[in-house]
Amino acid sequence: MGAFEKPDDLANVIQAGYGAPPPREAFVRGLGERMRVELRASQEAAAPARPHRALSVRWQWALAAAATVVLAAGIAAIALRPGGGAPPGLPSVGVPPGPEPEGTPEEKMVPLEIKLPRALFIGTDTNFKPSPYLENFDGKPRPPFLAPEGTVNLALGKPVTSSDSEPIIGALKLLTDGDKEGSDGSFVEFGPGKQWVQIDLKGPCTMYAIVVWHFHGEKRVYHDVVIQAADDPDFIENVRTVYNNDYDNSSGLGIGRDLEYVENYQGRLINAQGVQGRYVRLSSKGNSSNDQNHYIEVEVYGKPLAPAPPAPPAAAPAAAPK
């Protein structure tokens, strides 16, 4: 006698023996997002050598300009032929504007020179459980970051404030003193839970890159890292988020699409994409080793915004005819 006498027997066996409860919704969503990030990374890696996104914008400008020329020539050819005119669906004039530049296309782009501290551990093996929210740690030197010539660290020596007015260890000025070593005496420790530090750049600036060193004496991951720029110290005016890896919005600043990462001596370089503002605020919410928050150094690479040129003197009103 066979094992499957009734038509439904085979279905029942497969359902009982191979069915599974559905995966968690958060897992499915998170993995989908991580795959999207991976696809973009692999596409960028396969494209012609582009050291960093700042350079890609220059490419985008060049391509946009070339497309404009080609499209304009095409439209002109169509419009000039007998009985011509733009066919349906094609604009008769103009093209959509290109992306906002990080530096103007005329600016020379040069690699940022970032002085790195000593590495305090070797190897790439970590004990972190693979997660769709955690970036793979390879410990390799990062590619050069290109920024407009004349870009400097605007944060050096600038005043720092924080949500925790009395750090457990260290002083706030350590964040912008240029010392990035991971040893005792170089870092500031803030209390548990969500904490932020804020740097006043003392004037409106264009920012191209923000580099942050949390404690990098061991392989650890800081959670809910959010970096924002704003025009006012209370972060009300013109707030822009340049990095957010709070994937479940547990810090209340919105769901982030960036990945968590393992700290090391290179710090984390964030492409600020030419964001403008005077204040930079960095939040975090504990780390993989404990609930505290630690900062060693924050660098903000950019340029001060040129003050608006003085208005030309008003012309003297012409004398009224008598």
DSSP conformation letters of 165-228: SS-SBS-GGGGGSS----STTS-EEE-SSEEEEEEEEEEEEEEEEEEEE---SS---BSS-EEE
Q: How far is CA 52 from the centre of its chain?
A: 12
Q: Residue 245 in contact with residue 256, Cβ under 8 Å?
A: yes
Binding of residue 2 to other proteins (CB under 8 A): yes
**Closer residue to other proteins in complex, CB, 57/280:** 57
CB of 223 to other proteins, least distance (A): 19
Cα Rg of the chain (Å, integer): 27
Binding of residue 20 to other proteins (CB under 8 A): yes
Intra-chain end-to-end CA distance of the chain, in Å: 123
Specify the stretch interacting with other proteins by CB under 8 A; choose among 40-48, 155-163, 194-202, 311-319: 40-48
Closest CA to 119 of 195, 180, 37, 70: 180
Q: Residue 86 in contact with residue 71, Cβ under 8 Å?
A: no
Binding of residue 39 to other proteins (CB under 8 A): yes
CB of 22 to other proteins, least distance (A): 8
CB of 130 to other proteins, least distance (A): 6
Binding of residue 63 to other proteins (CB under 8 A): no
Please give the Cα distance from 81 to 95 (Å, whole number).
21
CB of 83 to other proteins, least distance (A): 37
Binding of residue 289 to other proteins (CB under 8 A): no
Which whole-number Å values give the CA distances from 2 to 8, 17, 18, 217, in the listed order? Answer: 14, 18, 20, 65
Q: How far is CA 304 from the centre of its chain?
A: 20
Binding of residue 31 to other proteins (CB under 8 A): yes
Binding of residue 16 to other proteins (CB under 8 A): yes
Binding of residue 140 to other proteins (CB under 8 A): no
Among 5, 6, 24, 306, binds other proteins (CB under 8 A): 24
User: Containing H/E element for 59?
Assistant: helix 53-80
Specify the stretch interacting with other proteins by CB under 8 A; choose among 30-38, 147-155, 183-191, 312-320: 30-38
Strand-pair partners of 177: none
Binding of residue 288 to other proteins (CB under 8 A): no
Binding of residue 3 to other proteins (CB under 8 A): yes
The site for other proteins (CB under 8 A) is made up of: 2-4, 10-11, 13-24, 27-28, 31-32, 34-36, 38-40, 42-43, 46, 129-132
